[in-house]
Amino acid sequence: MTPMQALCKTAESPPEQLAVFPIINELVLKLASRCNINCTYCYWFNDPEVMQSPKMLTPEAEKAFIPKLKQHIERHQVEKFRIAFHGGEPTLFPKKRFKVLCLAIRKVANETGCKISFAMQSNGLLIDDEWIELLKQFDVRLGISLDGSQQLHDKLRIDAKGRGTYLKTIQAIEHIRSTGLEVYILSVASEQTEPKALLKHFVEQLNLKDFEVLLPHIHHQNEPATFGHYLCEMFDLYLEEFIEAGVSIRILDDLMCQVIGGKSMSQGYGYVATATLLTDGALECVDDLRMIDGLKAGNINIKTHQLQEVTCDPLWQEIYTSSIHLSPQCNDCEFKRSCGGGPMVSRWSEKKRFDNPSVYCKDYQKIIQHIQKRIMPRVTQLQQTKESQLC
């Protein structure tokens, strides 16, 4: 299989009020609100409120979550649900509690018939053999953050004493893979690294096949950055050298899917229907919005509300509404369907809030045009070949 193929109020809120919005089928579950390293660009700790929240998911929030998850699945007939364990650093969470939590969620899945899948994003430094066995036991898809070469990674992803973490991260990845547990890599694009150097480092030196290259989380109040040429160069290398070797780069796979009329799996391209459960039980929208100063969620909490009631939070509603009602400039754009407006955080400005094109608008236009030029002739040729065979 190729990479492309793999491609409000209270707990008694009125049903008609909740029915206006899509059913939540994805949850970012914050197991920990602290981290064992100190990345220079981390959006999570951009918000000082984070350090005031409980260090770990509280037992009270965990106890409330399990029955509310079951009620949510049964009430809304949810067939598939995805839980992403996150932080801070999620492996700071006690392993015994993690096992109990996963067993309880698996019981919900068995009792409801809902297919509940797990993922975890980690820096990998605390993952020992016991963690590996737990991740295998519960079929948790593991993502590890690695930002390219040692020089770049050690500049961006440092520990509390300012020391780089590259070598420890590589050792962790190698050990995890040696046990048969596969990992995907999450990397943040940097203008300090050429795409060719990044891909060759990942694929040829580290023998990685599954990774994501994210654009930095910035918005219109930040210093501008340009990644159009970067993405085009990466796409050419991907198409010509790596895709047939089984390599998968999610941002490029998603953009290709969008160009040929498919649906992106990336959060923020198209409507947003996810929620985040914080360590104190608070429910809010996508967690990367924490990087925006002064943007506050409401008072929805899993201990007092149903899971679907996160859609009653005015900020959640604003995010969802903005994700489907694009700015006038986006609505008039020929690339609207392929771009979807871009990730929500990249649309923010103090003046117009989310009613803006993405800060990466020109970059998306450049890469989409480039992908169209490179792959649409092939798609057309395949369609013509298929039609001639059917005639």
Q: What is the pLDDT of residue 270?
A: 53
pLDDT > 90 fraction of the chain, expressed in percent and rounded: 63
pLDDT band at 15 (very low <50, low <70, confident <90, very high): very low
| Structural domain boundaries in the chain | 15-377
Instruction: Tell me: pLDDT of 386 over 50.
Output: no
Strands (E), 92-131: 115-122
CA distance 170 to 150: 10
- CB 167, CB 147: distance < 8 Å: no
pLDDT band at 297 (very low <50, low <70, confident <90, very high): confident
Provide the 3-class DSSP secondary structure of residue 273.
Answer: coil
Q: What is the pLDDT of residue 129?
A: 97
Query: 24-62, pLDDT tens digit by residue?
Result: 999 999 999 999 988 887 776 666 777 788 999 999 999
Instruction: Tell me: pLDDT of 65 over 50.
Output: yes
* Mean pLDDT rounded to a whole number for the chain: 87
**Token pair in block for residue 288:** 């990367």
- CB 231, CB 366: distance < 8 Å: yes
**CATH level 3 topology of 15-377:** TIM Barrel (3.20.20)
CA distance 275 to 316: 8
CA distance 239 to 247: 10
pLDDT > 70 fraction of the chain, expressed in percent and rounded: 87
Nearest CA to 288 among 34, 12, 45?
Answer: 45
Nearest CA to 112 among 67, 70, 82, 81?
Answer: 70
CA distance 106 to 323: 32
Q: What is the pLDDT of residue 42?
A: 79
pLDDT band at 14 (very low <50, low <70, confident <90, very high): very low
| Burial classification of residue 85, based on how many CB atoms lie within 10 Å of its CB (0-12 exposed, 13-18 middle, 19 or more buried) | buried
Instruction: Tell me: pLDDT of 16 over 50.
Output: no
Q: What is the pLDDT of residue 196?
A: 92
Q: What is the dihedral of CA 365, 220, 217, 356, to 10 degrees?
A: -50
Query: 174-205, pLDDT tens digit by residue?
Result: 999 999 999 999 999 988 889 999 999 999 99
**Sign of the alpha-carbon torsion through 23, 25, 41, 250:** negative
The structure's pTM equals 0.88
Instruction: Give Cβ neighbours of residue 120 (< 8 Å, ≥ 6 apart).
Output: 84, 85, 86, 90, 91, 135, 140, 141, 142, 143
8-state DSSP, 213 = E
| Burial classification of residue 135, based on how many CB atoms lie within 10 Å of its CB (0-12 exposed, 13-18 middle, 19 or more buried) | buried
Amino acid at 235: F
**Token pair in block for residue 147:** 């930002």
CA distance 59 to 33: 14
CA distance 191 to 120: 27
